[in-house]
């Protein structure tokens, strides 16, 4: 009988355990492949430990805690896998444990709070402002107001919990701190600032003013394709590494992190691990959000309509590939700037997306479309139309999404009820109703509605049924 493999922990792999100076909200796959990797590879890693909180469930924190917060990062290239144990996370906590969050954020030693809570968790309205009316925000505003007056009140969203913890930091006199959004949002620092200040209004008693003066909201562009871990990944780590790891994470070899903003209480020297610190982040953000995430959205809807399950499969379909390249041509008109090198970036994306060993599921990317399309299709289309062109490449992304939700596919979206109501309408009203959830301005433009309507059905045929081109 084979002996059970040894479990991964700090006795088996005695990595240093630095003190907590970073608090992370959203303990998912991406944080572990990206910010935790950069922190481990910074030259001052010995001073910077991370306490990471889950978002909605305790499971990931419980699993990681069972192995002293160590996990294996599997770097998966087209040619093979390499393995590295990451130890920069030193505490993994259930997000509902607001007492521990408050304690850590209020501590003088804590200098940075990072976020990977997904785009939908910022509670944005269609115009990009904070929407106090979403159920999560409304509940948190009430909870924060109760907590401020000493009554029982515990916020349930990550940003509501962060506001509670920032109130504790103010009370403890621990001074300024940086909040760093690592979610795929344009101007993610500014979005985080608006959402935090919006929720802080529930607390009252000058908390919003204190946050304005003491919290630096850093914007970042983050990049490393990190699909969800599978059972096969867990089995592979056991076989190749000789220990059992319940929480490995798989990522492509490529990684990129561009940051812009102040860190009033310090930060790890991430730039010496390859991160880039810039003054103006917008061109980098747009390049990444439009070219990578925008084409991911096209592939998610068009690809699934054509029967594909992964990014690599969809990209191999000429119809999907053409839609991606047409959108890239459009977006490139509005990506000017020194060092952006769009042709090289595009070539690299084709190679990254084509890595068949990274099974990046289209269903995962398809989630939360209304929030994502506002930052991926809408700005490019608006810029194209302002320059007198049609914006057909961006319109095709919107048409593919409309076909996808109309076809009765399962989807997750903060506006799911509104999407269902719009889908129940007919013809142009349906198109206009769905566009309105993404951009009121585009929905009111008859030219856009007509263009998107004309493009419906573009991906209706499966590849096998597509007539051979002549």
Ligand X SMILES: NC(=O)c1ccc[n+]([C@@H]2O[C@H](COP(=O)([O-])OP(=O)(O)OC[C@H]3O[C@@H](n4cnc5c(N)ncnc54)[C@H](O)[C@@H]3O)[C@@H](O)[C@H]2O)c1
Q: How many residues bind ligand 44H (CB under 6 A)?
A: 10
Compute how many other C-beta atoms are within 10 angstroms of the C-beta atom of residue 342.
15
Give the orientation angle of helix 207-214 with respect to helix 158-172, to 10 degrees.
80
User: Which residue of 293, 295, 355, 432 would you call a contact of ligand 44H, by CB under 6 A?
Assistant: 293
Show the tokens assigned to 53: 């909180």
* Cα gap 398→156, rounded to integer Å: 32
Applying CB under 6 A, the span of 3-11, 27-35, 85-93, 342-350 interacting with ligand X comes to 27-35
Told to check if 52 binds ligand X by CB under 6 A, we report no
**307 CB burial (10 A radius; 0-12, 13-18, 19+):** middle
Least distance (Å) between residue 333 CB and ligand 44H: 22
Applying CB under 6 A, the span of 61-69, 94-102, 291-299, 379-387 interacting with ligand 44H comes to 291-299
Least distance (Å) between residue 455 CB and ligand X: 27
Select from ligand 44H, ligand X, none the partner in contact with residue 365, using the beta carbon and a kind-dependent cut-off of 5 to 8 Å: ligand 44H
Told to check if 393 binds ligand X by CB under 6 A, we report no
Least distance (Å) between residue 257 CB and ligand X: 10
Select from ligand 44H, ligand X, none the partner in contact with residue 18, using the beta carbon and a kind-dependent cut-off of 5 to 8 Å: none
CA atoms within 13 A on the CB side of 157: 26
User: Which residue of 170, 296, 346, 385 would you call a contact of ligand 44H, by CB under 6 A?
Assistant: 296
**44 CB burial (10 A radius; 0-12, 13-18, 19+):** middle
Within its chain, how far is the Cα of 51 from the centroid? Answer: 19
Give the orientation angle of helix 446-455 with respect to helix 392-406, to 10 degrees.
60
* Cα gap 114→384, rounded to integer Å: 34
Residue with the shortest CB distance to ligand X: 28
* Cα gap 336→348, rounded to integer Å: 18
Counting runs of H as helices and runs of E as strands, what totals does the chain give?
Answer: 22, 13
User: Which residue of 105, 107, 292, 320 would you call a contact of ligand 44H, by CB under 6 A?
Assistant: 292
User: Which residue of 118, 186, 220, 260 would you call a contact of ligand X, by CB under 6 A?
Assistant: 118
Told to check if 27 binds ligand X by CB under 6 A, we report yes
* Cα gap 158→121, rounded to integer Å: 8
Applying CB under 6 A, the span of 14-22, 43-51, 114-122, 397-405 interacting with ligand X comes to 114-122
Residues found near ligand 44H in the complex (CB under 6 A):
119, 184, 223-225, 292-293, 296, 365, 372
Residues found near ligand X in the complex (CB under 6 A):
26-31, 54-56, 116-121, 157-158, 183-184, 222, 224-226
């Amino acid at each position: 009988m084979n002996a059970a493999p040894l479990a991964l922990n700090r006795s088996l792999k005695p990595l240093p355990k630095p003190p907590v100076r970073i608090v992370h909200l959203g303990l998912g796959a991406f944080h572990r492949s990206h910010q935790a990797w950069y922190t481990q590879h910074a030259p001052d890693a010995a001073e910077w430990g991370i306490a990471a909180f889950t978002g909605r469930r305790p499971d990931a924190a419980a699993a990681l805690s069972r192995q002293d917060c160590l996990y294996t990062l599997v770097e998966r290239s087209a040619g093979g896998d390499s393995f590295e144990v990451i130890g920069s996370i030193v505490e993994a906590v259930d997000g509902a444990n607001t007492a521990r969050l408050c304690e850590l954020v209020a501590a003088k030693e804590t200098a940075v709070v990072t976020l990977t809570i997904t785009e939908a968790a910022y509670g944005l309205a269609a115009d990009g402002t904070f929407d106090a009316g979403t159920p999560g925000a409304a509940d948190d505003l009430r909870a924060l107001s109760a907590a401020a007056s000493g009554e029982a009140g515990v916020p349930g969203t990550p940003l509501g919990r962060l506001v509670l913890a920032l109130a504790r930091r103010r009370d403890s006199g621990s001074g300024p701190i940086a909040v760093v959004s690592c979610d795929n949002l344009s101007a993610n620092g500014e979005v985080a600032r608006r959402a935090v200040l919006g929720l802080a209004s529930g607390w009252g008693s000058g908390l919003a003013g204190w946050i304005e003066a003491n919290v630096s909201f850093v914007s970042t562009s983050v990049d490393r394709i990190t699909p969800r871990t599978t059972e096969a990944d867990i089995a592979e780590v056991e076989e190749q590494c000789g220990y059992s790891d319940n929480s490995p994470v798989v990522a492509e070899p490529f990684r990129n992190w561009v940051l812009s903003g102040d860190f009033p209480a310090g930060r790890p020297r991430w730039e010496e691990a390859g991160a880039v610190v810039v003054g103006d982040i917008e061109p980098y953000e747009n390049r990444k959000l439009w070219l990578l995430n925008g084409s991911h959205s096209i592939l998610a809807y068009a690809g699934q309509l054509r029967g594909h399950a992964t990014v690599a499969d969809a990209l191999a379909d000429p119809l999907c590939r053409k839609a991606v390249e047409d959108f890239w041509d459009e977006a490139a008109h509005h990506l000017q700037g020194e060092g952006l090198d769009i042709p090289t970036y595009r070539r690299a994306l084709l190679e990254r997306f084509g890595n068949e060993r990274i099974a990046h599921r289209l269903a995962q990317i398809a989630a939360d479309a209304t929030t994502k399309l506002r930052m991926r299709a809408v700005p490019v289309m608006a810029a194209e139309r302002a320059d007198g062109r049609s914006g057909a490449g961006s319109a095709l992304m919107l048409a593919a999404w409309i076909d996808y939700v109309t076809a009765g596919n399962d989807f997750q979206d903060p506006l799911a009820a509104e999407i269902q109501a719009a889908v129940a309408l007919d013809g142009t009203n349906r198109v206009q109703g769905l566009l309105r959830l993404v951009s009121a301005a585009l929905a009111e433009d008859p030219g856009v509605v007509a263009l998107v309507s004309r493009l419906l059905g573009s991906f209706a045929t499966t590849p096998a049924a597509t007539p051979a081109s002549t």
